[in-house]
């Protein structure tokens, strides 16, 4: 990268500011380096940036025409240039009263037609109107999908379980080895179980292999295939023809569009499992929260724009400070699958080494991302964060308010929530300031034994405080990270909406599967030998 501002930032990164020094030199830093929107308060004061670095990062956004790129994203320009189509996941959460014309078609009209069909189906299931082959009402819904067709709905239904107001059980199956499905089929009743097959292409082997097993399980209980398919299967895909060929009844087919990337698809009919779990009104609240963040992203000044700031900080850490690992740490058990969701969102989007112009990039792009619920992580990998040799950036996420239902045990739950908040804030302090964060009575001597208890600090982090975790704030939080990914991609000049690295493994697996079935294959010596060992053990 040869732009003047990029070079300036590169020079600044050679002597990055120390977090202890930054806070000592500016007593108001904890208030200044913050932003607030959509019931999310962001404190990025513990990032290794000063005003000079921040101003240069904001100038970098202008230099790469971020404002125009945001407009291109939101208005349906073909920004997914390697696949020659728009990336219009933001259109999935537009209010019904608006329109968005793309290539002469009102995209929003199509979206709300699909949402209306989702609402009809979800209500029929939730109200016990949908019946299985024996006439009994559906009690269990199994979402069969993988990647974005699984991670988003699984994450959201778990996070919003408190909003579930129905006896319908919602389950998720993704792994092709059959373990999840096998465990479920042992306890489910075929008469009252409904399967959602979610696959954008309706050709994903992981999903279709599980769907095929589910179909044969049902047929072993009731041999009328037409009835089983009609009463027990829903399809969500861009391919009506493939769903029909598989046997999904037209009434049970829900539409996707090729401009919806899988990891951005939970706002669409892919989110049917969410709607069944929490109701369509709450699903619309989820969409409204995301749309609110879209509007903030589009209209807020970059200096106070949450996704822009989060994305620019990510670029600074990964590309300039060479911090190659990032951990997401929600201090709320309801968000336990949020780090998994972001793992796909960020690494599948920005895990690229070729720029839009086809040239190989000469700087670090997406870091390795992982995480866990904060309290679990403290007893697992925080040792590395505090005393390891790796530089790691972190996002701490927690709601401010929880447990207000006036139950007899509320005060104990409220105390537990305060304990969780205290741990969240304390951990970010020690990561940032090391030993100097400790009060006087906890100071550690630097003697022979004390050397093992030193905390170096200077590990950068951002803290995100949600007013409360609700369908609306969850929608805003997810959209915040979607737009963070886009901001980083604009600066890195890569396309975040394709995933060719995912496709190659699927294609290769077909030829290896043929070799497993026929015993004939000619690959590298390692694969050939592994095939031989497998064959000899059967």
- DSSP characters for 193-253? EEEEEE-SSS--HHHHHHHHHHHHHHHTT---HHHHHHHHEEEEES-HHHHHHHT--GGGE
Pairwise CA distance, residues 187 & 129, whole Å = 23
Cβ contact 30:45 at 8 Å: yes
Active site residue 379: yes
The CA–CA distances, whole Å, from 64 to 77, 83, 304, 497 equal: 17, 22, 18, 18
Q: Which of 119, 285, 346, 348 is catalytic?
A: 348
Residue 319 DSSP class: I
Cβ contact 191:133 at 8 Å: yes
Pairwise CA distance, residues 479 & 486, whole Å = 11
Residue entry with tokens 């009994």: 136
Backbone torsions φ then ψ of 499, nearest 5 degrees: -155, 55
Residue entry with tokens 């739950």: 413
Q: Which of 14, 186, 379, 409 is catalytic?
A: 379
Active site residue 117: no
Pairwise CA distance, residues 438 & 426, whole Å = 10
The CA–CA distances, whole Å, from 211 to 232, 459, 474 equal: 11, 45, 30
Pairwise CA distance, residues 156 & 151, whole Å = 9
**Cβ neighbours, 10 Å, residue 110:** 15
Active site residue 216: no
Strand locations in 38-111 (E) = 40-43, 101-102, 105-106
Pairwise CA distance, residues 271 & 294, whole Å = 19
Pairwise CA distance, residues 385 & 455, whole Å = 10
Cβ contact 365:492 at 8 Å: yes
Cβ contact 290:93 at 8 Å: yes
Catalytic residues: 348, 379, 506
């Amino acid at each position: 990268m040869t732009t003047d501002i990029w070079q300036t930032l590169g020079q600044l990164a050679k002597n990055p500011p120390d977090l202890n020094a930054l806070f000592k030199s500016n007593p108001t830093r904890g208030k200044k380096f913050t932003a607030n929107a959509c019931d999310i308060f962001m404190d990025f004061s513990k990032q290794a940036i000063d005003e000079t670095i921040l101003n240069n990062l904001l100038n970098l956004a202008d230099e790469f025409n971020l404002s125009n790129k945001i407009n291109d994203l939101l208005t349906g320009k073909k920004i997914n240039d390697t696949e020659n189509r728009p990336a219009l996941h933001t259109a999935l959460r537009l209010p019904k009263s608006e329109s968005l014309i793309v290539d002469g078609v009102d995209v929003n009209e199509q979206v709300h037609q699909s949402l209306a069909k989702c609402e009809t189906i979800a209500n029929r299931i939730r109200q016990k109107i949908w019946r299985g082959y024996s006439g009994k009402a559906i009690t269990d819904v199994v979402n069969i999908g993988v990647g974005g067709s699984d991670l988003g709905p699984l994450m959201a239904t778990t996070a919003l379980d408190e909003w579930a107001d129905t006896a319908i059980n919602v389950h998720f199956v993704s792994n092709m080895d059959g373990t999840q499905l096998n465990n479920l089929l042992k306890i489910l009743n075929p008469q009252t179980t409904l399967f959602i097959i979610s696959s954008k292409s309706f050709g994903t082997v992981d999903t279709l292999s599980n769907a095929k097993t589910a179909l044969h399980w049902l047929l072993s209980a009731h041999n009328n295939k037409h009835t089983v398919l009609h009463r027990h299967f829903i399809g969500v895909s861009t391919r009506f023809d493939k769903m029909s060929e598989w046997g999904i009844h037209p009434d049970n087919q829900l539409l996707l569009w090729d401009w919806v990337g899988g990891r951005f698809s939970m706002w669409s009919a892919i989110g049917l499992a969410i709607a069944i779990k929490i109701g369509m009104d709450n699903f619309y609240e989820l969409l409204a929260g995301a749309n609110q963040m879209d509007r903030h992203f589009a209209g807020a000044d970059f200096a106070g724009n949450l996704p822009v700031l989060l994305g620019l900080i990510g670029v600074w850490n990964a590309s300039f400070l060479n911090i190659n690992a990032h951990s997401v740490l929600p201090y709320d058990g309801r968000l336990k699958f949020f780090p998994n969701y972001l793992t796909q969102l960020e690494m599948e989007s920005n895990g690229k080494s070729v720029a839009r112009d086809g040239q190989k990039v000469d700087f670090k792009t997406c870091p390795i991302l992982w995480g866990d619920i904060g309290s679990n992580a403290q007893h697992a990998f925080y040792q590395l964060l505090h005393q390891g040799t790796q530089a790691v950036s972190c996002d701490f996420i927690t709601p401010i308010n929880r447990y207000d239902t006036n139950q007899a045990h509320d005060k104990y739950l409220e105390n537990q929530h305060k304990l969780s908040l205290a741990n969240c804030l304390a951990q970010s302090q020690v990561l940032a300031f090391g030993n100097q964060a400790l009060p006087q009575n906890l100071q550690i001597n630097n003697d022979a034994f004390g050397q093992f208890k030193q905390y170096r600090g200077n590990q950068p982090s951002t803290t995100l405080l949600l007013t409360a975790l609700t369908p609306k704030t969850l929608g805003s939080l997810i959209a915040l990270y979607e737009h963070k990914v886009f901001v980083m991609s604009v600066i890195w000049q890569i396309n975040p909406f394709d995933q060719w690295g995912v496709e190659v493994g699927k294609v290769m697996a077909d030829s290896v599967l043929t070799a497993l079935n026929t015993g004939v294959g000619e690959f590298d010596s390692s694969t050939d030998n592994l095939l031989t060992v497998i064959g000899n053990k059967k």
